[in-house]
């Protein structure tokens, strides 16, 4: 049975495409989510490797880049219901090495670091103001986990009227079932799920058009 048939019949799954200016947000690709003994597993290492290639292309084409991290106060005073589902998240404090962006994707000076306490990269952060300042209309979302913070960020990006683009090989999850289901769902309702080489080609096209 073709599960996409009902979506097509109801007019879903349309392609958004890129707008005039894109930014890249790398969601929670930190050491703790790259460690299967902590919060990682599944296809996350492969997604990090693919994101490195995309990040290099973004930098080469002058695309604004943001990184997100889950960060809680040492005393847990800013932790909410999210950590009641996953209490170990409270260990992700600013001084914990597990909270830091993985070395392969180390942020450069001038790139935006977003510290958050919930799944969405927009909730309670300065991400939307930063995107507005840079006149962004298209948000490329990579990171972990596909079914969690990536999906929440994509849904909120759509709600803020950005065009969400999800490079399917640049997002990862600790379990492949939720990963695949989330990619399908996002592609039908919230954004475009495409390969990273297609994203890179679009970034190069936009940069060439702007220069």
Helix/strand/coil (H, E, C) string of the chain? CCCCHHHHHCCCCCCCCCCCCEEEEEECCEHHHHCCCCCCCCCHHHHHHHHHHHHHHHHHCCCCEEEEEECECCCCCCCCHHHHHCHHHHHCECCCHHHCECHHHCCCCCCEEEEECCCCCCCCCCHHHHHHHCCCCEEEEEEECHHHHHHHHHHHHHHCCCEEEEEHHHEECCCHHHHHHHHHHHHHHCCEEECHHHHHHHHHHHHHHHC
158 is known as an active-site residue: no
* Terminal-residue alpha carbon distance, the chain: 47
Q: What is the spatial distance between Cα 93 and Cα 76, in angstroms, rounded to a whole number?
A: 9
**Catalytic-role residue among 149, 157, 199, 200:** 149
**Residues forming the active site:** 149
């Amino acid at each position: 049975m073709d599960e996409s048939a009902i979506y097509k019949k109801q007019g879903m799954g349309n392609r958004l495409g890129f707008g005039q200016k894109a930014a890249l947000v790398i969601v929670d690709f930190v050491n703790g989510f790259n460690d299967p003994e902590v919060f990682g597993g599944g296809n996350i290492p492969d997604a990090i490797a693919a994101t490195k290639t995309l990040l290099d292309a973004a930098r080469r084409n002058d695309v604004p880049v943001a990184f997100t991290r889950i960060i809680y106060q040492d005393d847990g005073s800013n932790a909410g219901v999210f950590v009641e589902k996953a209490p170990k998240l409270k260990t992700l404090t600013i001084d914990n090495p597990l909270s830091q962006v993985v070395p392969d994707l180390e942020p450069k000076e001038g790139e935006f670091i977003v510290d958050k306490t919930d799944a969405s990269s927009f909730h309670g952060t300065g991400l939307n103001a930063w995107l507005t300042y840079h006149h962004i209309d298209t948000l490329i979302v990579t990171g972990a986990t596909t079914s969690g913070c990536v999906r929440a960020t994509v849904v909120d990006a759509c709600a803020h009227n950005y065009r969400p683009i999800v490079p399917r090989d640049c997002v990862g999850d600790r379990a492949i079932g939720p990963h695949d289901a989330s990619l399908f769902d996002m592609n039908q309702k919230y954004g475009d799920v495409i390969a990273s080489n297609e994203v890179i080609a679009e970034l190069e096209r936009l940069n060439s058009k702007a220069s």
